[in-house]
Structure 1
Amino acid sequence: MENSQCTVVDAQAAFTTAREKALIEAAQSGDKQAYHQIYDAYVGRVHALSYRLTGDHALAEDATQEVFIQLWRKLGNYNHKSKFSTWLHSVTANITVSYMRKQRGWFQRMFNIEGSAAEQFHAEASTGEVDLESYIVRLPERARMVFVLHAVEGYRHEEIASMLNMAVGSSKAQFHRAKQLLKEWMGYDND
């Protein structure tokens, strides 16, 4: 994995704005080679965001594939008014959230932090085997999605509410819930 991350970093470093624009325009015209270069440059970022949103490596892999399938279809919608990475970030978040909705039944069973899952989490935490990413992954689905989109990715609650089809107040409540759970799990609930 480390070698592939270096390759992604190298690909992104060589991806200048002019080169990026030329590749995007070529890909918009159907050039699969140009699209492959875009894929190489951005797959790491897309996967990282998908993982933070889903909390599951297999789901993130599937969501990443879905993003790039949809990207091929939606690339014509990109109009160069914003940075491509910003546009792709928004596309990734929307597609990943949509993909997760389709997986809801499995996802709710997998990441319910009640009962034995909570006991397993506390056992891991007591041995020091859990890092922040592990805490975030264990958040309930809606709280995790809002937390990642707001705290990590910088979206406003109004944007999150629109993306997740919820009220702005619900987004704020889910963010507060995520913060409270993280504080509790990390031992900072002494306020």
Structure 2
Amino acid sequence: MGTERPISPEALEERELVLAAQAGDNVAFAGLVRRHQRRAYAVARAIVLSHDDAEDAVQEGFLHAFRALERFRPEQAFGAWLHRIVANAALDIARRRKVRDADELPETLSSPHRDPAESDELRARLTRALDTLGERQRAVIVLHDVEGYKHAEIGTLLGIPEGTARSDLHHARAHLRRQLSNLRSEK
């Protein structure tokens, strides 16, 4: 008896799309784009925080993936491979853009039990605090705390060891606590 897990129908369908795309089927690649564009955007947005920069990173990531498709091994997880490419594209954009305007955080951070004015002020302060983090720490905290990625997944996406992702998360949270420590005293 083997210990191999059965492959899900979704994974089989994705593998077929990958093989077809590698054989030059642009419609198959478009199917892969549709499957992964939302998560790819979330990965990019976690790193750059700007909608426009995230869209640019996703576009650059998909273009790079298309050009590198022949090097992809179909037995791997396509999503993990693609999201790492997108994360690298987002990190490149973040490095190139030293000064940028703060954009609103994703709506997933809003709380339905708060006064909207208070929520807007809190979001603005959190955005400013996040902007004081380095790109990698900001990416790690948003990927973990907002998007729900595990440390190992973050390490894979960002090309860093899992322990580094854990350490970056710890330091980013400590930094944000210091930056936002006066919130409680203002109430």
Normalised-by-shorter TM-score class: 0.5 to 0.7
Unaligned 5+ residue runs, structure 2? Answer: 1-8, 103-114
1:99 to 85, 93, 100: 93
Q: Which amino acid aligns with 2:12?
A: A
Match of 2:11 in 1: 17
In structure 2, C-alpha distance between the alignment counterparts of 1:20 and 1:128, rounded to whole Å? 40
For the 8 Å contact 1:24–1:35, the answer to whether it is kept is yes
Q: How does 1:85-96 map to 2 (within 5 A)?
A: 85-96=79-90
Match of 1:5 in 2: none
Q: Which amino acid aligns with 1:145?
A: A
For the 8 Å contact 1:136–1:144, the answer to whether it is kept is no
Match of 2:119 in 1: 128
In structure 2, C-alpha distance between the alignment counterparts of 1:32 and 1:180, rounded to whole Å? 46
Q: Closer, same or farther in 2 for the Cα pair 1:63/1:91, shift >3 Å?
A: same
3-state SS of the aligned residue for 1:72? Answer: helix
TM-score by length of 1: 0.63
TM-score by length of 2: 0.65
Moved more, 90-99 or 124-133: 124-133
For the 8 Å contact 2:17–2:32, the answer to whether it is kept is yes
Fraction of identical pairs, as percent: 23
* Alpha-carbon RMSD: 3.7
Match of 1:148 in 2: 142
1:84 to 60, 74, 78: 78
Q: State the Cα distance separating 1:49 from its structure 2 match.
A: 1.0
Q: How many residues align?
A: 156
Match of 1:3 in 2: none
Higher relative contact order (CA 8 A, sep 6+): 2
2:173 to 167, 170, 179: 179
Q: Which amino acid aligns with 1:153?
A: Y
Q: Closer, same or farther in 2 for the Cα pair 1:68/1:26, shift >3 Å?
A: same
Match of 2:105 in 1: none
Q: How does 1:9-48 map to 2 (within 5 A)?
A: 16-48=10-42
